Structure 1
Amino acid sequence: MPYFSYKARNGAGELLQGILEGADSGAIAEQLFGSGATPIEINPSRKGPGAKEGGGSLMARLMEKKVTSMDVQLFSRQIYTLLKSGVPIMRGLAGLQESAINKSFAKVVKDLRESLDAGRELSTAMMRHPKVFDTFYLSMVRVGEMTGRLEEVFLRLFDHLEFDRDMRERVKTAMRYPTFVVAAMVIAMVIVNVFVIPQFAAVFKTFNAELPLMTRILLATSQFTVAYWPAMLAMAGGAVFGFRSWVATTKGRLAWDRHKLRIPIAGKIIHKATMARFARSFALSTRSGVPIVQALTVVSQTADNAYLSARIEGMRDGVERGESILRTSVAAAVF
């Protein structure tokens, strides 16, 4: 739907202005009247609610700090504390907007406040920012709205995000040493082939003797690397580009994610970390009152591994057919 910039006055006569989304100017006027504001001016706008007035330069947009998971985690804790203390959500969002260190997230909070002021639900307002609030987060907020336990849901989301961040950090830490070792081996092989072996080749020529087979293979490999390194570099770049393009496809992503689970040592780490996040997310969903089928659907979308996500979706299909969770878990063959 298109965006419209508006100017209006509330019951106290204060001037309000911002950008709303609606079918036409009449729909925007209805939203404003519904929130207790009287529209003064409504004009079409090409900018969304998160855009700056005047657009801003391209460099400013590129240098703008992105919203991180830590921002969302801190927001969850703060909004829980405010709601628990009895602070109205509109006043709480206004305070969070002013105190936000990340200006990009401050814009998101501002849009949430304007959407609530226009009569939208909080979960609907968050849906306008899919890069900030994922499907699982939105589903939990929606459940909190329906059950009247929104503050409790935000506390659980904070714990969930903290656990998720801790698991990701552990995986990165565990993968750091193997990655460093592989990178060091590749660099060492390049240095030896390009700089060290050619020096020995010049010495071997003075011997005028037949060299062993392995030595000749080593020298030939070095000569090939020195002579054709531009072509090898281009082939490596093409291979990386082709691999990334293949992984971007549905079948490629599924096959690669399944293969990652079979990598020695690293595969077990990835599998255990993903399943730990699944168990935590599924427990949080069911404890908050989300139906099992819906919980499996939402949790499958939050898994980092496409293969494991497909297995979880298979569990959901089995539950829909009337099978037990135990039976579908055994059939999934990932536990």
Structure 2
Amino acid sequence: MAAYAYQAVDAKGRKKRGVVEADTLRQVRQQLREQGLMPLEVEPAADKERKPGAATPRWGGVRSVKSQDLALITRQLSTLVSSALPIEQCLLAVADQTDKPRLKKLLMSVRSKVVEGYGLAEAMAEFPGVFDHLYTAMVAAGEKSGHLDQVLSELADYTEQRQHMKSQLTQALIYPLMLTLVAIGIVVFLLVSIVPQIVDNFASMGQTLPPTTRFMITLSEFLQNWGLALLGIIVIALLGFKQWLRKTSHRLSYHRQLLKLPLLGKVIRGVNTARFARTLSILTSSSVPLLDGLKITSTVIGNLAMREAIDEAATRVREGSSLRAALQQTRLFPPMMLHMISAGEKSGELEQMLRRTADNQDREFESLVQVSLKVFEPVLIVTMAGIVFFIVLAIIQPILQLNQSVGL
């Protein structure tokens, strides 16, 4: 039996969507009519899902799912598999448990492939937008080793940890950016809306204005006359930069430059080294060979320069080098991590050392984010106070000069 996604209407004209199992399209339509539904569209659920370049079907194809949802269904599968239930029953139970049509459709599509005789990893590989190469490789290793439930549990933990790190990184980058944009917006509002009203009063004084006041007036006039054009240039530049990054060689060069930045480069290295260590640890514990693990791990690294370095390290390992020596030549991994990897290779506990390294990197990253945010906020406040003080000073100085001239 295969899974079919349908769109139908009931007797009241309300649209219904869902997934059913049947042998043929004709059986699907018959089932829907027996339920009092008029079928509008019926398609095999897996046909368009497994084509990465295909357009999203208008009945809501699943290109990806949220990390929280993926972690949840993975953990549920782990629990059911540990109960010695057949894989197809586990998938059916999880599909019945979820109340999200997109997830139900995905799980039923995977189940239909399993029923046809495919392995779980092979069935999941049909949906690369949801189950990436790392996920399917670990599931395949779990199926071969007979420890699928443990592998799925580790995958759920990994997915949750990765989502947590993503949230931390978003906070580290987006929060300061938003504060900066708000601060710039306030200053621009003062210069464009408030300052011109005060300048009209200065024009009637007929006196020489202080340099600070003249600079403020010049800046205000520039923003009024060219502000929108400047904003347009910035938007066009950003769009052009985004287009420029589409070329792999350009993006690689850009990522290399990011690694050289004082603070941001350290954050990027920390996030990616932690992801590298944790991913390789999970793959190693799942009995995936080291070379295959390095190849898979490089695909989950976001920075292309670090991805290229890991590929080069994998080549050195294939030629007989130790993992520690291969990674050391990249000059991208911290010394503590390299020493722990060396200790793991010598003791035969590489996966435990990699896991500890990932935990250490995560703690360092979280500490760096917290310290950076605590430092950034007062610096931004002081900077804003200085700008506002300059504007106020530029406004008050002509008034003080006028009072002095009147007093004389």
**TM-score of the superposition, structure 1-length normalised?**
0.79
Aligned partners of 2:264, 2:230: CA distance in 1, in Å?
Answer: 28
Q: Deviations over 1:197-227 (max 9, x none)?
A: 2223223322333334454333222212211
Secondary structure, in 3 states, of the residue corresponding to 2:126? coil
Q: Higher mean Cα deviation, 77-86 or 224-233? A: 224-233
AA aligned opposite 1:241:
L
The structure-2 alpha-carbon separation of the partners of 1:137 and 1:210, relative to structure 1 and needing over 3 Å to count, comes to same
1:94 deviation in Å?
0.8
Tell me: CA distance 1:51–1:321, structure 2 relative to 1, closer, same or farther (3 Å).
closer
What secondary structure does 2:88 align onto? helix
Aligned-residue offset at 1:139: 1.1
Instruction: Choose from 46, 49, 53 the match for 1:49.
Output: 46
Which letter does structure 2 place at the counterpart of 1:49?
Answer: A
Residue in structure 2 matched with residue 84 of structure 1 by the alignment:
82
Q: Which residue of 2 aligns with 1:17?
A: 23
Distance 1:171 1:249, change over 3 A: same
SS in 1 for 2:207: coil
Residues 31-75 of structure 1 deviation map (CA, whole Å, 9 limit, x = unaligned): xxxxxxxxxxxxxx97652679xxx994x649x896211111111
Who is 1:268 aligned against?
266
Give the match for residue 228 of structure 1.
226
| Aligned counterparts of 1:206 and 1:65: Cα–Cα separation in 2 | 65
Q: How far did residue 332 of structure 1 move?
A: 0.8
Q: What's the counterpart of residue 294 of structure 1? A: 292
The answer (yes or no) to whether the contact 2:3–2:112 under 8 Å persists in 1 is: no
Matching residue of 1:75:
73
> By how many angstroms is 1:93 displaced?
0.8
Out of 308-317 and 102-111, give the one that drifted further.
308-317
SS at match of 1:332: coil
> Residue 65 of structure 1 contacts residue 103 of structure 1 at CA under 8 Å; is this kept in 2?
no
Report the equivalent of 1:39.
Answer: none
From 157, 170, 187, the equivalent of 2:155 is 157
1:282 aligns with 2:280: yes
| Aligned position for 1:108 | 106
Mapped contact 1:18–1:49 kept (Cα < 8 A): no
2:130 aligns with 132
1:113 is displaced (CA, Å) by: 0.6
What is aligned with 2:118?
120
SS of residue paired to 1:334: coil
Q: 1:88 to 1:256 in 2, by over 3 A?
A: same
Q: Is 1:201 paired with 2:199?
A: yes
Cα displacement string for residues 67-123 of structure 1 (whole angstroms, at most 9, x for unaligned residues): 211111111111111111111111111111111122111111001110011111111
Whole-Å Cα distance in 2 between the matches of residues 190 and 154 of structure 1?
53
Following the alignment from structure 1 to structure 2, what is the Cα–Cα distance between the partners of residues 48 and 103? 12
Q: 1:215 to 1:312 in 2, by over 3 A?
A: farther
Q: How far did residue 333 of structure 1 move?
A: 0.9
**Contact (CA 8 Å) 1:257, 1:305: kept in 2 or not?**
yes
Match of 1:143 in 2: 141
Task: Quote the offset at 1:274 in angstroms.
Answer: 1.9
Distance 2:262 2:190 in 1: 27
Amino acid of the structure 2 residue aligned with 1:84 = S
Q: What SS does the aligned partner of 2:329 have?
A: helix
Aligned length: 294
Deviations 1:163-194 (A, max 9, x none): 21222222233335422321222212321231
Cα RMSD of the aligned pairs, angstroms, is 2.9
| 1:210 match: secondary structure | coil
Give the superposition deviation at 1:131: 1.0
Deviation of 1:261 after TM superposition, in Å, equals 3.4
Gaps in structure 2 of 5+ consecutive residues: 5-20, 26-41, 50-55, 334-408
Change (3 A) 1:174 1:238: closer
Distance 1:18 1:132, change over 3 A: farther
Contact kept, 8 Å, 2:139 with 2:148, in 1: the verdict is: yes
Q: TM-score, normalised by structure 2?
A: 0.65
1:167 matches 2:165:
yes
Distance 1:214 1:250 in 2: 47
Corresponding residue for residue 241 of structure 1: 239
- How much does 1:269 deviate? 2.7
Q: How far apart in 1 are the matches of 2:204 and 2:63?
A: 61
Deviation of 1:238 after TM superposition, in Å, equals 0.8
Cα gap change, 1:65 to 1:292, in 2 (>3 Å): closer
Match of 1:23? none
Q: What aligned pairs does 1:173-192 form with structure 2 within 5 A after superposition?
A: 173-192=171-190
Q: Which has the higher contact order (CA 8 A, sep 6+)?
A: 2
